[in-house]
Chain A
Amino acid sequence: QSVLTQPPSASGTPGQRVTISCSGTSSNIGSNPVNWYQQLPGTAPKLLIYNNNQRPPGVPDRFSGSKSGTSASLAISGLQSEDEANYYCAPWDDSLDGWVFGGGTKLTVL
Chain B
Amino acid sequence: EVQLLESGGGLVQPGGSLRLSCSASGFTFSSYAMSWVRQAPGKGLEWVSTISASGGSTYYADSVKGRFTISRDTSKNTLYLQMNSLRAEDTAVYYCAKELPLLHGMDVWGQGTTVTVSS
Q: Residues of A at under 8 Å CB distance from B? A: 2, 32-33, 35, 37, 39, 44-47, 50-51, 54, 56, 86, 88, 90-92, 96-104
B109 adjacent to A45 (CB under 8 Å): yes
Could you say which residues of chain A place their CB within 8 Å of the CB of B112? 44
Flag whether B82 is at the interface (Cβ < 8 A): no
Flag whether B73 is at the interface (Cβ < 8 A): no
Question: Given A97-B59, A98-B59, A47–B50 Cβ distance below 8 Å?
Answer: no
A51 to B103, CA, bound (A): 8
0/1 per residue, B87-107, Cβ < 8 Å to A? 000000001010010111111
A-B contact pairs, 22 of them (CB 8 A): A33-B104, A35-B106, A39-B45, A45-B95, A45-B97, A45-B109, A47-B107, A50-B107, A51-B104, A51-B105, A86-B44, A90-B45, A90-B47, A96-B62, A97-B59, A98-B59, A99-B37, A99-B47, A101-B37, A101-B46, A104-B44, A104-B45
Could you say which residues of chain A place their CB within 8 Å of the CB of B103? 32-33, 91-92
Question: Given A88-B45, A99-B35, A44–B50 Cβ distance below 8 Å?
Answer: no
Could you say which residues of chain A place their CB within 8 Å of the CB of B100? 50
Query: Known pairs A35-B105, A45-B37, A90-B105. 10 more at Cβ < 8 A?
Result: A33-B104, A33-B105, A37-B105, A90-B45, A91-B103, A92-B103, A98-B59, A99-B50, A101-B46, A101-B47
Minimal beta-carbon separation of A46 from chain B (angstroms)? 7
Minimal beta-carbon separation of A25 from chain B (angstroms)? 16
B95 adjacent to A44 (CB under 8 Å): yes
A98 to B95, CA, bound (A): 16
Flag whether B31 is at the interface (Cβ < 8 A): no
B47 adjacent to A47 (CB under 8 Å): no
Could you say which residues of chain B place their CB within 8 Å of the CB of A86? 44
B60 adjacent to A2 (CB under 8 Å): no
A96 to B46, CA, bound (A): 13
Residue from the set B45, B100, B112 with the largest chain A CB neighbour count within 10 Å: B45
Flag whether B55 is at the interface (Cβ < 8 A): no
Interface residue from A47, A100, A102, A104 paired with B105 (Cβ < 8 Å) = A47
